[in-house]
Amino acid sequence: SDKVSHNRPPWLAVAVEMTTVELNPFPSRSVFLGVDVGTGSARAGLFDESGKLLGSSSSPIQIWKDGDCVEQSSTDIWHAVCAAVRAACSLANVSDVEVKGIGFAATCSLVAVDAEGSPVTVSWSGDSRRNIIVWMDHRAVKQAERINSFNSPVLQYCGGGVSPEMEPPKLLWVKENLQESWSMVYKWMDLSDWLSYRATGDDTRSLCTTVCKWTYLGHAHMQQQMTEKASRDMEACGWDDEFWEEIGLGDLVDGHHAKIGRSVAFPGHPLGNGLTATAAKASTKQPLTSLELGLLAGTPVGTSLIDAHAGGVGVMESKSDSDSLKKDSDVDTLCTRMVLVCGTSTCHMAVSREKLFIPGVWGPFWSAMVPEYWLTEGGQSATGALLDHIIENHVASPRLANQAASQKVSVFELLNNILKSMAQEDTSSPFVAALTSEMHILPDFHGNRSPVADPNSKGVVFGMTLDTSEKQLALLYLATVQGIAYGTRHIVEHCNAHGHKIDTLLACGGLSKNPLFIQEHADIVGCPIILPRESESVLLGAAILGAVAAKSYPSLHDAMKALNAAGQVVHSSSDPKVKKYHDAKYRIFRDLYEQQLSHRSIITQALS
């Protein structure tokens, strides 16, 4: 309509009438590009048709933190994406004609733009650059509590209640606190949807983002045939209008939900006519800071995924040798696995054919990761971030960092080596894990996402002394890793008690590259852990979206089978003493939370 074209952002102007172009008249290799925008950087990776990484690059992004408020800039992020893509293509020696498809993954942060596509501030500061409320932002705890008090039926699909990290509480916070911004916003988007919109001009949202973070009921589409027409651009029939009106956001229902998503698609379905001319290449008139992607206009772009879910897509079909022998059918294999995407936080993803309602665990989300499967999503809000916090705030940290730099190893590697030598020196410690026999950690420093779903839960460190040495920091680090792994065991046990049959873990993300982190998880959870052949699983998952959009594979699941590959398999210790030790520490771990609840109520009564 005229109104829509009048409100079209300037970078869309060239886009909409374009037809898909024939990309390459000469035979060449097929390369798929994955882009992942994490908390601290934008990364790009290029993969061949066997799922092998040809090259990757990353570019830092700005972040503003002020108490519970954490903000970013979509303009800054797009510049970082363009820089990373161009650098990756250059490093991998990949030309624009070889890139056959593109997929985007990002944190589930909330983006605000006006009718021109320009940023609208979501910040107390009024800084217009700051138009993204980052996923980890906890400003909307009160709004989340209020939303949950309505007990709307949609809440049973997110573990019984929304988290302050989901979008409805954040939207309500903006409406209540920044009225001017609220009235200016033309579109509210999850970051990964905004990236694909910025690349293609197509406002279709992903079933992944809308279902997992916006209370969209994806199973409203279950009856629709997964035909090309239906899946490409499905009218958004899964919004519960009563929910939005009840919580005070009825204005988002207006115009067929125009501000939050009129149409949705399965992850990997092709958007618009592919890359717009503007997003593809920087024009000579633009300043150099406006680097665009350096690719061909019309290159297919797939509907996006949240970064953790892209990690799931990048590893879930990785088969170890023993795996292919023991399992009869693909369906069974997929449904006995849990993927740990471990970065700043950890997401725990499992799929099932039936919908399983699990208190305190997000989901069941239909088709939010693998089409036609129900997704269960557990998580820990601070894991990599917690380890950094523990290490960086210790008095021995600067000495340790200097030692690591002079030995040309990471701080984690240095700590792992210190622990090994401590275990050798300490005759009373039969194995490394036993060094923490007197130290116990509850890792809820940023609340408990699951399975307790208590954003007010606090971290606990039990067993401190006046020791401030590097060795004491090594113990604190080990006890934190173990605390995180006990949290994973709690999530796995809770899911299995409610109908899952998880017996294998797959791990990807930055922390999965730490052998101590992985071995402790294997020993504590009691499952083998499959590591992917390619270390950049989130980028591979994003690239798979591009491969599906390019029609190189008939479906997302087929692309996963072709492009996922297993690397090392880490087994739990066969020593019964290790199991006995961790069972005892796990009991203490569970007690730490129960004690916290008891202490909380004692203080509440004292102050009432």
Q: Which helix (H) or strand (E) holds 363?
A: strand 362-366
If DSSP codes are grouped into helix, strand and coil, which group holds residue 576? helix
What's the pLDDT at 22?
45
pLDDT average, residue stretch 245-254: 97
How confident is the model at residue 333, as a pLDDT? 87
pLDDT band for 222, please (50, 70, 90 cuts). Answer: confident
Query: What's the Cα-to-Cα distance from 333 to each of 224, 318, 322, 501, 542, rounded to whole Å?
Result: 26, 10, 12, 10, 22
The full 3-state SS of 77-141, as one line of letters, equals: HHHHHHHHHHHHHHHHCCCHHHEEEEEEEECCCEEEECCCCCECCCCCCCCCCCCEECCCCCCCH
Evaluate if residue 5 carries a pLDDT over 50.
no
Q: Is the pLDDT of residue 20 over 80?
A: no
Convert the pLDDT of each residue in 344-373 to its tens digit. 999 999 999 999 999 999 999 999 999 889
pLDDT (tens digit, 9 = 90+) per residue, 27-62? 579 999 999 999 999 999 999 999 999 999 999 999
pLDDT, one tens digit per residue, over 80-134 is 999 999 999 999 999 999 999 999 999 999 999 999 999 999 999 999 999 999 9
pLDDT at 451 over 50: yes
pLDDT above 50 for 228: no
Phi first, then psi: what are they for 363, rounded to 5°?
Answer: 110, -175
**Cα(381)–Cα(346) distance, rounded to whole angstroms?**
7
- Cα–Cα distance for residue pair 494/514, rounded to 1 Å: 26
Share of the chain above pLDDT 70, in %: 90
Phi-psi label, residue 151: left if phi above 0, alpha if psi -120 to 50, beta otherwise:
left
pLDDT tens per residue across span 478-518: 999 999 999 999 999 999 999 999 999 999 999 999 999 99
Residue 470 pLDDT grade (very low, low, confident, very high; cuts 50, 70, 90): very high
Choose the weakest-confidence range: 8-12, 41-45, 57-61, 150-154: 8-12
Q: What is the pLDDT of residue 599?
A: 98
Within 8 A by CB and 6+ apart from 287, the residues are none
Q: What is the pLDDT of residue 526?
A: 98
Beta strands in 368-437 (DSSP E): 374-380
Asked whether the beta carbons of 551 and 301 are under 8 A apart, the reply is no
Segment 213-218 shows an average pLDDT of 96
The answer for residues whose C-beta is within 8 angstroms of residue 180's C-beta and 6 or more apart is none
Tell whether the model's pLDDT for residue 194 goes beyond 50. Answer: yes
What's the pLDDT at 517? Answer: 98
For residue 291, the model assigns a pLDDT of 73
Radius of gyration for the alpha carbons in the chain, expressed in angstroms and rounded: 24
Chain centroid to CA 111: 16
- Predicted pLDDT at 286: 52
Predicted pLDDT of residue 329: 52
pLDDT at res. 28: 78
Q: CA 382 to CA 394: how far, in whole Å?
A: 18
pLDDT at residue 261, as a whole number: 96
Cα separation, 559 vs 546, whole angstroms: 10
The predicted structure's pLDDT at residue 285: 54
When mean pLDDT is compared across 152-161, 272-281, 478-487, 525-534, the lowest value belongs to: 152-161
Q: How far is CA 226 from CA 134, 215, 273, 367, in A?
A: 33, 22, 20, 11
CB burial of 231-252 (b: ≥16 within 10 Å; e: otherwise) equals bbbbebebbbeebbeebebeeb
**Mean pLDDT, rounded, of the chain:** 92
Binned at pLDDT 50, 70 and 90, residue 320 comes out as confident
